[in-house]
Amino acid sequence: MIFTQTGSGVATTTPSCAASGKPGFLTRHVLFFQSSGVFNGWMNTHHLGASALSTWILLLSSCTISGCATSGKVSDPTAKFTVSVEPTVLQLLLAADHDHDQKITLHDGPVEFRFQDQEKRGHLLRGAYPLSVFLQSLALAHDQGAGELTLSETELAENPVDRTSRLIREIFWDGLTRRTDEQGLIHNLQDSKNTAQKAKNHLYVPLADRAAVHYFEGVQKRHPELRLEIRQTPRKITSAFMDFIGDRHGLLSLKVGTPYVVPGGRFNEMYGWDSYFITRGLLLDQKTELARSMVDNHAYQIRYYGKILNANRSYYLSRSQPPFFTSMLRAVHEKLPRTGENKVWLRDQLRWAIEEYRTVWTVPPRLIRSHNLSRYFDEGHGPGPEVEVGAYDAIVAPFARAAGLSPADYLAKYEKGQVSNKKLEATFKQDRTVRETGHDTTYRFDLRANDFLTVDLNSLLYKYETDIAELIEKEFGGSFEVPGQKQPETTAAWRKLANTRRNEINRRCWNAEKGFYFDYDFVNEKQSNYVSATGLYPLWAGLATPEQARKVVDFATKNLEFSAGLAASTEASRGPVHLPDRPQRQWDFPYGWPPHQIIAWDGLTRYGLIEDAQRLAYRWVSMMARNARDFNGMVTEKYNVVTGSHEAFVEYGNVGSKFSYITKEGFGWTNASFQIGLRLLSSEQLKALTAFKPLNEVFNPALTSVSGKR
């Protein structure tokens, strides 16, 4: 059948073959699509009128796929062919989308698609991967306003590894890019995490940035349809101001017109530690100016909001996230030409890095002076406004049962001040701190996150100290003048800070018997026994000795390495899970996360343990490529590293898995992990990867077994 768009309907030519009789398969799918609203949803979304729908159903009802498109078959897979976009999409969905999720995946079972191009040449595609690539290509063409698509069968067979990397580079980063300006606000104001109905969209702008205040007041006047309410943040963010905000939450402005990249999905803001990994990916994909803009926006937050925030929404003003700013700065600086202008830029950003270090991480309440180490600490109180409905049920349930209420009803009364509960108040304080760790949520802290000097945070601060020391030495001759500061910053002083922290980390967090790093419980003066992938951070920061590094790798290999990469924890550390009181948490076994993989690869590489790094990277990247191949190009925020699956639907689900036809975002740090992992592999390993060779055919079989570690 040949379809061409003609105004509000679809014109057709007579099929080149006779109908083969049974209309059942397609008719059933047409009827399902009609009754379920999926079909009409596509028609409405893509502006096809009722006449197009009725014509299409009539033709499909009289002809099965196997009875059409058999004449004039194409023998050259490199030959270009052209199809009409919208009718082909609908035909393809009916033929292959058996579970009606607007994707073509392994869950659809064996699939094939016979069709004719506009030259009446027949084509037969078999398998979920080429059909899903066809669907993605058609969706892209439609979104670009094209009525026709020209491509070849060879293009539909693009290697999944190459395709995933190309889509990240050419489409995903653009799909995740935002900016806080007149054009960008319509996308940035949306917040699926806070669904309370609001008469106004609150936009918070720093009082001290008078140009930004003036700019957004102009936007407010020009765009009444945005329902903007401009609110100004004070020069110093206090708990009183956060209380004043109440439930009037909204977007926090960043540097006007300066782009930034969001993680994706429900995370439609610039996130603190995500941004480091995203920046690494951007630099690899030659998006240096965008990476530089990320640094600029983080410096803006330090200057005007007092810290690099969890993300730029008002309910995040009370907390930060794992600090990576100096690592971001150095990564971008190394890619910039050595010009006077870039030297000034480095000087400005280094000033704000020092400011963040001194005013956020090395003063109370985050600094524990008696131990010369720091902790995570959220300065707010009460339940987090951004937390998804039902996420607090396990925490609230014991109190709710005692009061004869459901968790939801008890929480509602608590938030309205109708019940008072000091223990629950303290629990929410701890929960907020868990969220500053970036590992929300996990059984790693047993809701005592304020009581731990974590190995990851202090490794990151050691990295700040060594980064600042090296930048001052290499770029500023060993001495750095900070505006408003009487004494200059010196390389020697920062190295002394680093040495002190390294000694304290090794004294309190290193377990010589186990050969691994653990968090330190300073309240009870003992090491935690929770085995976490964060125990590899000292290698990334370079504070371990070579002997310690080798022991850490041996321990991690035995306890945390699984078929698809490193798990966030061991199963024993996570403990038993059961509903309703002890549900599975997403930052525990069996889930693996991109930042843990990248940190591990970098740390191992730093200590010359290249083969170990490459083996872990191969596990992760091959798993990602298989999931993208088998599930319509899907790239998600986390994976089950035991099963090697994206089906890690825990807590709020798995961001990156919900889309129709094509993903245009992937997920920020996961995109970066794929690009970083590919660069780590040798040419022979890359060749094996694109052939999807099993790990034991590429690496030493003695190091590839993962049995017995659960």
My answer on whether omega of the bond before 580 falls inside 30° of 0, hence cis, is yes
- Please check whether residue 322 is in contact with residue 456, taking contact to mean a CB–CB distance below 8 angstroms: yes
> Which of these is catalytic: 191, 296, 451, 637?
637
**Which 3 state secondary structure label does DSSP give 178?**
strand
CA distance 191 to 250: 8
Structure tokens at 554: 């041996």
CA dihedral 445, 446, 449, 450 (to 10 degrees): -140
Structure tokens at 374: 């720091």
CA distance 376 to 365: 9
CA dihedral 203, 209, 210, 214 (to 10 degrees): -30
Which H, E and C letters describe 484-510, residue by residue? CCCCCEEHHHHHHHHHHHHHHHHHHCE
Residue 158 known to be catalytic: no
Alpha helices in 194-245 (DSSP H): 210-222, 239-245
> Which of these is catalytic: 440, 489, 602, 665?
440
CA distance 515 to 512: 5
Cα atoms in the Cβ-side hemisphere of radius 13 Å centred on 172 = 30
Residues 6+ apart with CB under 8 A from 444: 519, 528, 530, 532, 569, 573, 587, 588
**Which 3 state secondary structure label does DSSP give 4?**
strand
Residue 440 known to be catalytic: yes
| Torsion over CA: 561, 564, 565, 569 (sign) | negative
Sheet bearing 520-521, strands edge to edge: 452-453, 520-521, 526-527
Which are the catalytic amino acids? 440, 637
